[in-house]
Amino acid sequence: MIGIVNYGMGNLRSVQKALERVGTQAQIIDKPEQIETAERLILPGVGAFADGMMHLRDCGMVEPLMQYAKSGQPLMGICLGMQLLFDSSAEDAPSIVESVKGLGILPGQVVRFQEDQGPDKPRLKVPHMGWNQIDFATDVPLFEGLSAGDHVYFVHGYYCVPEDHKDIAATTDYGQPYCSAVHRGNVWATQFHPEKSQHVGLRILENFAKAELVQA
């Protein structure tokens, strides 16, 4: 059974329906104690980083999520859910030198796209919204059956900068190449929305549900 964490900031039913389409049982998890019972776990999310962390704390989900990440069971973040896995974010930060703390499961920061790309370059539209390509940085089972250049659906104004480049599983070009998916051990995450990415996204969710994903 795949658990989908409900902390009030995710397209829960969309993710659940997408998993059901690939023949996987999925349960929406509302209580912290349910997290440890999931065979695999998805942390979705839509909205602002600080709000996401506040809701996770209010729901009592922070410690169970951190323990689950340490358990070796597959954990996948989606969009805001990917960003929350990192150490901190500049979104809604009190100052330029004080960031908002995340779960700290993955080392790195979340930063904002810059509209001004420099002289003679078109101004970047933020948020990054719509279809864009992914290119694979490593050969990982989450992307089995996909091809470099496949299109997926994005909606975000901030992106993750992993401290260790080895954690980058895929990149996307928007003004410049940036990390659009990560992998470290049993932890996986995508900045894009698989549940909105048609057959490509369904294949990713199917791989998460059925592939052997626990790796060193």
Token reading at 48 = 């602002």
In tens, the pLDDT along 136-148 reads 988 889 999 999 8
Single pTM value for the model: 0.95
Choosing from 91, 156, 193, 206, the catalytic residue is: 193
Count structural domains, the chain. Answer: 1
pLDDT tens by residue, 54-94: 999 999 999 999 999 999 999 999 999 999 999 999 998 88
Active site residue 193: yes
Q: Supply the range of the domain harboring residue 54.
A: 2-210
Question: Residue 197 falls within a domain, yes or no?
Answer: yes
Residue 90 located in a structural domain: yes
How far is Cα 196 from Cα 69, in angstroms, rounded to an integer?
Answer: 25
Residue 176 CA, chain-centre distance (Å), reads 19
Instruction: Give tens-digit pLDDT for 156-204.
Output: 999 999 999 999 999 999 999 999 999 999 999 999 999 999 999 999 9
Residue of 55, 79, 128, 183 marked catalytic: 79
Question: Of residues 160, 183, 195, 206, which has the active-site annotation?
Answer: 195
Domain for residue 215, yes or no?
Answer: no
- Is the pLDDT score of 48 beyond 90? yes
Q: Average pLDDT for residues 9-32, to the nearest whole number?
A: 94
Residue 195 bears catalytic tag: yes
Domain holding 87: CATH number? 3.40.50.880
Contacts of 87 (CB under 8 A, 6+ apart): 101, 102, 104, 106, 107, 108, 109, 163
